[in-house]
């Protein structure tokens, strides 16, 4: 009952991953490769967190 309104951390991570990947795509197309590299590193960290939650 009390867990009914609790947010699912896996869904939160997946949503964050989706928004970051879209942002990274836009940055890459604009030509800012340093910012793109930073965003890719952040995406890798989110992927690790998602993998840890699915195990």
Give residue 45's domain range. Answer: 2-54
Least confident of 1-5, 22-26, 35-39: 1-5
Q: Please state the domain count of the chain.
A: 1
Contact yes or no for 20/46 (Cβ under 8 A): yes
Is the pLDDT assigned to residue 33 strictly greater than 90? yes
Q: Which residue, 16, 23, 25, 22, is CA-closest to 45?
A: 16
Mean pLDDT across the stretch 24-51?
Answer: 97
pTM of the model: 0.84
CB burial readout 21-40, b (16+ within 10 A) else e? eeebeebeeeeeeeebeebe
Q: Within 13 Å, how many C-alpha atoms sit on residue 39's CB side?
A: 18
């Amino acid at each position: 009952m009390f867990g009914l309104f609790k947010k699912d951390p896996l869904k939160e991570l997946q949503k964050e991953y989706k928004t970051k990947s879209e942002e990274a795509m836009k940055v890459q197309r604009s030509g800012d490769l340093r910012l793109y590299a930073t965003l890719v590193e952040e995406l890798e960290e989110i992927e690790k967190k998602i993998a840890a939650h699915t195990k």
